[in-house]
């Protein structure tokens, strides 16, 4: 079974005095990430769309964001809840404004909020496509847009770089291809493009932007990992607690030189994924290609390659702790 993350504060708190936002932080990955950032010293705005309601007896009950805030405060940390939809432009503006007004600045943005609407591409509805792209891709963009503006204004006011960290959430579904998730894979691929663009745009202001591909058993992915082994004792290899420390590290001063990077993380393992590389180049022997020339060049090039070998990197799905390439 999964073990709840500890909010016990360590002696060294690299994020002390920093303020962070974590979206989709009421449960699962976002909750573990918010608790870890608080453990490392950050004041955290815990965002989740769920709102307070009533329990089975009719008594008032806290929403998921408020519950995480209570956990952080009970351990002596600082946290606030925000229950707006971060894919809504004004709510994204509001969550950044909340961090700035209450904590004096925003230093760390962790974009995690997301949903699933899985279906094969030939069966997917327009709404299933639009909803997933909106929550994941627009949700990442909207908060990034206002956080970036905040950091740019601070840099202009101070005349130098500021402290800013963005950690975005992509997925192995983008890297490896996921036949039943064309909307999710597309959104997660878009998040990688957003991250690399943001990293370049904000570098001169001192801001870093990185993207992780986590594998974790959460409420959103319970059907995806329904067949995955869950140990009777100890930490589940798919527990969100395996992911949270990397988020805390990327948010810290120690990661100042890391930006525009993609890392896969799960089960006690972190894999650094390299950028795509050009495998071959073909030049036309005239002003432009003809069909016949392309046929003569490309058809033989692909003739001996496996038909199932595509741009997708399915091998990432086989990554496990203790397997694969190691840092030397």
Q: Which of 184, 205, 252, 259 is catalytic?
A: 184
- Annotate 290-320 with b (16+ C-beta within 10 A) or e (fewer): eeeeeeeeeeeeeeeeeeeeeeeeeebeebe
Mean pLDDT of all residues belonging to the chain: 90
16: annotated active-site residue = no
The full DSSP string for 193-225 is HHHHHHHHHHGGGTEEEEEEEE----TTTTTTT
The pTM (predicted TM-score) of the whole model is: 0.88
The catalytic residue among 2, 171, 178, 252 is 171
- Using one digit for the tens of pLDDT, what is the confidence trace for 47-80? 999 766 555 555 556 799 999 999 999 999 999 9
pLDDT at 52: 64
Q: Which residues, listed in sequence order, are joined to residue 269 by a DSSP beta bridge?
A: 266
User: Across residues 276-284, what is the average pLDDT?
Assistant: 94
Task: State yes or no: pLDDT of 282 exceeds 60.
Answer: yes
Q: Is the predicted pLDDT of residue 23 greater than 50, yes or no?
A: yes
171 given a catalytic annotation: yes
pLDDT of residue 179: 92
% residues pLDDT > 90 (the chain): 76
Q: Is 205 a catalytic residue?
A: no
Report residue 309's pLDDT band, with 50, 70 and 90 as the boundaries.
Answer: confident
Of 163, 170, 178, 188, catalytic:
188
Give pLDDT, residue 231.
58
Q: What is the pLDDT of residues 231-243, one digit of tens each?
A: 566 666 778 999 9
Among 43-47, 228-232, 303-307, 319-323, whose mean pLDDT is lowest? 228-232
């Amino acid at each position: 079974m999964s073990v709840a993350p500890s909010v016990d504060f360590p002696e060294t708190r690299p994020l002390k005095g920093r303020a962070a936002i974590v979206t989709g932080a009421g449960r699962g990955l976002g909750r573990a990430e918010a608790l870890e950032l608080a453990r490392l010293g950050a004041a955290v705005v815990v965002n989740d769309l769920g709102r307070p309601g009533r329990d089975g007896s009719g008594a008032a009950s806290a929403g998921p964001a408020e519950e995480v805030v209570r956990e952080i405060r009970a351990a002596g940390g600082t946290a606030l809840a925000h229950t707006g939809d971060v894919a809504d432009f004004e709510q994204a503006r509001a969550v950044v404004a909340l961090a700035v007004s209450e904590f004096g600045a925003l230093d760390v943005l962790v974009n995690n909020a997301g949903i699933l609407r899985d279906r094969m591409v030939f069966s997917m509805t327009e709404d299933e496509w639009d909803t997933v792209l909106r929550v994941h891709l627009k949700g990442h963009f909207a908060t990034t847009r206002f956080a970036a503006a905040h950091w740019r204004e601070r840099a202009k006011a101070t005349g130098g770089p500021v402290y800013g960290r963005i950690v975005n959430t992509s997925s192995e579904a983008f890297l490896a291809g996921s036949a039943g998730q064309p909307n999710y894979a597309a959104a997660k691929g878009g998040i990688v493009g957003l991250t690399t663009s943001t990293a370049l745009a904000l570098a001169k202001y001192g801001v870093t932007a990185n993207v992780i591909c986590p594998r974790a058993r959460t409420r959103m992915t319970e059907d995806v990992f329904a067949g995955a082994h869950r140990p009777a004792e100890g930490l589940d290899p798919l527990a969100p607690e395996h992911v949270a420390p990397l988020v805390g590290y990327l948010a810290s001063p120690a990661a100042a030189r890391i930006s525009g990077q993609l890392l896969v993380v799960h089960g006690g393992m972190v894999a650094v994924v390299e950028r795509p590389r050009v495998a071959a180049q073909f030049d036309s022997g005239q002003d432009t290609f003809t069909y016949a020339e392309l046929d003569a060049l490309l058809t033989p090039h692909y003739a001996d390659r496996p038909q199932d070998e595509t741009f997708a990197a399915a091998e990432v799905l086989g990554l496990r702790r203790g397997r694969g390439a190691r840092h030397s």
